[in-house]
Homo-oligomer: A and B are copies of this chain.
Amino acid sequence: MLFDPESVAVVGATPKRGKVGYAILENLRNFKGKVYAINPKYSEVLGYPCYPSILEAPKVDLAVIAVPAKAVNSVLEQCGEKGIRYAVVISAGFRESGREGAKLEEEMVEICRKYGIKLVGPNCLGIINTHNGLNATFARTTPKQGNIAFLSQSGAFIIAVMEYFKNVNEGFSKIVSMGNKAVLDEADIIEMLKNDPYTDVIMLYIEGITDGRKFMDVAEKVGKMKPLVAMKSGKTSAGAKAASSHTGSIAGSYQACLAAFRQSGVIPVSSPEELFDVAKLFSKYRKVKGGVAIVTNSGGPGVMAADAIEEFGLEMASFSQETIEKLKNMLPAGANVYNPVDVLGDADAERFVKAIECVAKDKNVGSIVAITVPTATLSFEEAAKFRIDKPYVLCFMGWEKSDFFDPVRAVRALSSLYNYTKFVERGERRYREYAFDRDKVRKALKSKNPFDLLRVIGIPTPRYGVAKTAEEALKIADEIGYPVAMKVLGDILHKTDVGCVKLNVERSEVKKAFVEIIANAERLGNVRIEGVLIQEMVRGGKEVIVGMKRDANFGPLMMFGLGGIYVEVFKDVTFRIAPLSEEDAKEMIREIKAYKLLKGVRGEKPSDLNAIADVIMRLAQLSLEFPEISEMEINPLRVFEKGCSALDFKIILKEVV
């Protein structure tokens, strides 16, 4: 109904050229429904009947409001009274303009809630549906019809993109300028497009996501039917400057957003051109299987494409013997019949087309990059007339109708199609459910010994005990076995530096160590000392790090990486949003570069990957169940051939003000 109203009222319509209220009315010229102007000054505007207020107009399905900010809410009240369900507020002067505007926006949300009005904006360009002529924007171009929907947080970018699409003769199904997203956010609008028969792919430009969890749910559901291609800007404003190894500083909100995209199958792109390239490709295809074949009339660009195929993680198709024989028979001597197929510079369109069609029949070929350079013998127009039933991209270099000029750019776009196919075909995901004892967890959250919490949620730790006296320390150490590690328990930073940690302590040294640790701690003054933690010294294994930082928007952002100083230097870490499935957890482990180390290099036995996955999932579930935990990190988690052990653990609870 937002996109298919039977009647639209433009509030703030005016016959004054150059005004927004004029431009909108003008743009509605081709709308296949009724249009009413609303303005107390006129009885008719641009040939449309004009009413003094929306209350006096006939039945209205969609109100497009372009009056000064201060007048918007009373118009919305009238819309509500009249039972209008949809509104687009073009007017600016709300949250984006300061405190007063923010207050107006709050009132706006309240009114919409009261009447159930679904509102786009405020502070936006408007909305377009090319298939019924609904152009409720003040843009100067009307795009042509196509199957790409475009949702953008920047109205200005929409205008630029419409210009670009016009130049390359591409169209849209719907365009939505989301503005301040006071009521409808990106998730709501994506949901509305789920069953839109005119939309095959959804292109997003996002600066921030309103509700992370809701976005992920909707994106995953809709994305399986209609690929979502998203450019997120503002990457570097937060997080990227992080230099420390801690979850807190590595994980910025962009990391959370990328993780969310990944988990919900949204295809991330990093520039406007890539956004268009990928969306255009998805407007034609949404599935690909098998290697990439290159067919070209020129060696050089063929090599460029082959390079790019490897660079973007795709695979060159290897042809069947049958294909090779067929190519040998149809191509002149000197032609390359292996991938990339070079039909030679003297080829005419017929030779090129035959080679493409032959290669496309090979069952190892999933997609084709068709490349030609201008020659005297080959007509671009004719060479494009092949008929194959597999995805392809045209790189006819120098032809205005080509999909691409640049083979590298073509392959980059193609790689998204492969990634999307993998996402769609991934199996049902299994979620583990751990039965945490909530009371025990609550108690452990209050303990000064963070290992108590790990124990309660079933994460293995070295054996330990807390000693209040030197005698107790010896008793505990005797039970654990020697050597042991000893650390003060208390709010002391950099415990090692101030002599409050002793490693490899033998029986004869335990009491002395206890006394020293306490003395060193007391020397700091005014520190509450809870005792000394006596811990088993764990040997061998590999160190990894598992962490969580709660993202304000997406919830618990789980981190996994190689431990020790390497996390700092190589930033070899990966992120997911909780809840995460077994598959997600295992994917995290597999996708860090150091995975090789965990699998075992140079004849080593592999580390226990299941044990790591279990730790990640336990922390994830804990994060979801106990929102008061704002950050935690096991660093290092020591992983063995069988099992693992959390050697150190930090937890930060939300500060209660």
In-complex Cβ contact of A304 among B162, B233, B497 (8 A): B233
Known: A156-B375, A164-B405, A234-B303. A565 touches B602 (CB 8 A): yes
Tell me if A307 counts as interface (CB < 8 A to partner B).
yes
Q: Is A306 an interface residue (CB 8 A)?
A: yes
Partner of A406, one of B273, B299, B308, B397: B273
Report the minimal beta-carbon distance from A172 to chain B, rounded to whole angstroms.
Answer: 15
Report whether A236 and B160 are in contact in the complex, using a CB–CB cutoff of 8 Å. Answer: no
**Interface residue tally for chain A (C-beta within 8 Å):** 70
- Residues in A63-114 with C-beta less than 8 Å from chain B: 97
Q: Check if B156 sits within 8 Å of A301, measured CB to CB.
A: yes
Q: Please, what's the 1-or-0 string for A11-26, where 1 marks a CB less than 8 Å from any CB in chain B?
A: 0000000100001000
Q: Mark A136-159, 1 if CB is under 8 A from B, else 0.
A: 001010000000000011111101
Contact of A271 among B153, B300, B303, B409 (CB under 8 A): B409
In this assembly, does A310 line the interface, its C-beta being within 8 Å of a C-beta of chain B? Answer: yes
Of B154, B301, B568, B570, the contact of A300 (CB 8 Å cutoff)? B154
Contact call A596/B568, Cβ cutoff below 8 A? yes
CA distance A218 to B594 in the complex (A): 41
What 1/0 mask marks residues of chain A from 158 to 184 whose CB sits below 8 Å from any chain B CB? 011011100100000000000000000
Q: Which of B233, B306, B398, B593 contacts A160 (CB 8 A)?
A: B398
Q: Does A374 contact B (CB under 8 A)?
A: yes
Residues of B within 8 A of A240 (CB): 310
Task: Please tell me if A334 contacts chain B, counting CB pairs below 8 Å.
Answer: yes
In whole angstroms, what is the CA distance A405 to B207 when docked?
A: 19
0/1 string, A406-432, CB within 8 A of B gives 1: 111100000000000000000000000
Report if A601 contacts B (CB, 8 A): yes
A205 at the interface (CB under 8 A from B): yes
A376 is contacted by which of B140, B167, B397, B405 (Cβ under 8 Å)? B140
A653 on the B face (CB < 8 A): no
With both chains docked as a complex, state the minimum distance between the C-beta of A465 and any C-beta of chain B, in angstroms.
29
Closest Cβ of chain B to A390, distance in Å, is 23
Using Cβ atoms and an 8 Å threshold, which residues of chain B touch A52?
none
A499 CA to B488 CA, complexed, in Å? 44
Docked Cα-Cα span, A373 to B140, in Å, equals: 12
Min CB distance A405 to B, Å, is: 6
Chain B's closest residue to A18 (CB) is B376
Residues of chain B within 8 A (CB-CB) of A376 are: 18, 23, 138, 140
Q: Is A33 an interface residue (CB 8 A)?
A: no
A320 at the interface (CB under 8 A from B): no
Q: Does A298 lie at the interface of the complex (its beta carbon under 8 Å from any beta carbon of B)? A: yes
Take A160-B373, A233-B304 as given contacts and tell me if A408 and B570 are in contact as well, using a CB distance cutoff of 8 Å: no
Of the candidates B159, B235, B373, the one whose C-beta lies within 8 Å of that of A157 is: B373
Complex formed: what's the CA distance from A322 to B163 in Å?
A: 37
Q: Provided the pairs A300-B157, A406-B271 are in contact, do residues A311 and B235 lie with their beta carbons within 8 angstroms?
A: yes
What is the CB-to-nearest-CB distance from A340 to chain B, in angstroms, rounded to a whole number?
Answer: 11
* Contacting residues of chain A (279-332) with chain B, CB-CB under 8 angstroms: 297-301, 303-304, 306-308, 310-311
A97 to B344, CA, bound (A): 12
A597 contact set on B, CB distance < 8 A: 565, 569
**A566 interfacial contact with B, CB 8 Å:** yes
| Distance of A563 from chain B, by nearest CB (Å) | 13
Residues of chain B with a CB closer than 8 A to A307's CB: 233-236
Check if A133 is an interface residue, CB within 8 A of chain B.
Answer: no
Query: Nearest chain-B residue to A571 (Cβ)?
Result: B593
Residue A272 is within 8 A (CB to CB) of chain B in the complex: yes
Measured CB to CB, the nearest residue on chain B to A592 is B569
CB distance from A394 to the nearest CB of B (A): 13
- The reply to whether B398 and A163 contact each other, CB–CB distance below 8 Å, is yes
Counting CB contacts under 8 A, is A4 at the interface? no
Max chain B CB contacts within 10 Å: which of A568, A570, A603? A570
Out of B205, B311, B373, B572, name the residue touching A156 (CB < 8 Å).
B373
Cβ-defined contact, B566 with A160, below 8 A: no
11 interchain pairs, CB-CB under 8 A: A140-B374, A154-B301, A159-B373, A167-B398, A207-B300, A235-B307, A235-B310, A235-B311, A240-B310, A273-B408, A565-B601
Known A233-B300, A569-B597; 7 more pairs at CB < 8 Å = A138-B376, A157-B373, A159-B375, A160-B397, A162-B398, A272-B407, A565-B601
A interface residues, Cβ below 8 angstroms from B? 18, 23, 97, 138, 140, 152-157, 159-160, 162-164, 167, 205, 207, 231, 233-237, 240, 270-273, 297-301, 303-304, 306-308, 310-311, 334, 345, 373-376, 397-398, 400, 405-409, 497, 565-566, 568-570, 572, 593-594, 596-597, 601-603
